[in-house]
Structure 1
Amino acid sequence: MKTASKGSLRTTLPMRKRRMAMVQTAPAHAQRFAVNHFNQKRDRRRHFRVRISLIGRFMRENKQEYPCKLLNMSPGGAAMMAPIAGEVGEKIIAYYDTLGRLEGTIVRVFEGGFALKLMATSHKREKFTEQLTWLTNRKSLGLPDERRHDRIIPKRVLTNLQLDDGEVRQCRVLDVSLSGASVYMENKPDLGMSVVLGRLRGTVIRHHSEGIGIQFTDIQGPTAIKRIFN
Structure 2
Amino acid sequence: MAFAQTRSLLPSPDERRRYQRVKVHLLGRYMLPDRREFPCQVINMSPGGLALLGPGIGNVGDRVIAYLDHVGRVEGKLTRIIDNGFAMSVGATPRKRDKLAAQLTWLANRDILNLPEDRRHERVVPRNPLSVLTLEDGTKMHCRIIDLSLSGAALAAEKRPPMNMQVMLGRVRSRVVRHLEEGFALEFVHEQPADTLEDSVNAR
TM-score scaled to structure 2, two decimals?
A: 0.56
Give the equivalent residue in structure 2 for 1:54. 26
- The one-character-per-residue Cα deviations of 1:68-87 (angstroms, maximum 9, x if unpaired) are 11111111000111111111
Answer with 1 or 2: which has the greater Rg: 1
- Cα distance in 1 between the residues matched to 2:40 and 2:88: 13
- The one-character-per-residue Cα deviations of 1:54-97 (angstroms, maximum 9, x if unpaired) are 22111112221101111111110001111111111111111122
- Cα distance in 1 between the residues matched to 2:92 and 2:135: 38
Match of 2:158 among 176, 191, 194: 194
Q: Would the aligned equivalents of 2:77 and 2:89 in 1 still touch at CA under 8 Å?
A: yes
Deviation at 1:140, TM superposition (A): 2.9
Unaligned runs of 5+ in 1: 1-39, 164-174, 182-191, 202-213, 226-230
Deviation at 1:112, TM superposition (A): 1.3
Q: How does 1:195-210 map to 2 (within 5 A)?
A: 195=159, 199-200=161-162
- Cα distance in 1 between the residues matched to 2:35 and 2:159: 19
Aligned residues: 145
Please give the root-mean-square deviation of Cα atoms over the aligned residues, in Å. 4.0
TM-score scaled to structure 1, two decimals?
A: 0.50
Higher relative contact order (CA 8 A, sep 6+): 2
Give the equivalent residue in structure 1 for 2:48. 76
Unaligned runs of 5+ in 2: 1-11, 122-132, 143-149, 164-175, 190-204
C-alpha spacing 1:155/1:66, structure 2 compared with 1 (3 Å): closer
Q: Would the aligned equivalents of 2:29 and 2:38 in 1 still touch at CA under 8 Å?
A: yes
Greater strand percent: which structure?
2
Q: What is the aligned-residue identity percentage?
A: 35
Deviation at 1:135, TM superposition (A): 1.1
Match of 1:88 among 38, 54, 60: 60
Give the equivalent residue in structure 1 for 2:193. none
Give the equivalent residue in structure 2 for 1:63. 35
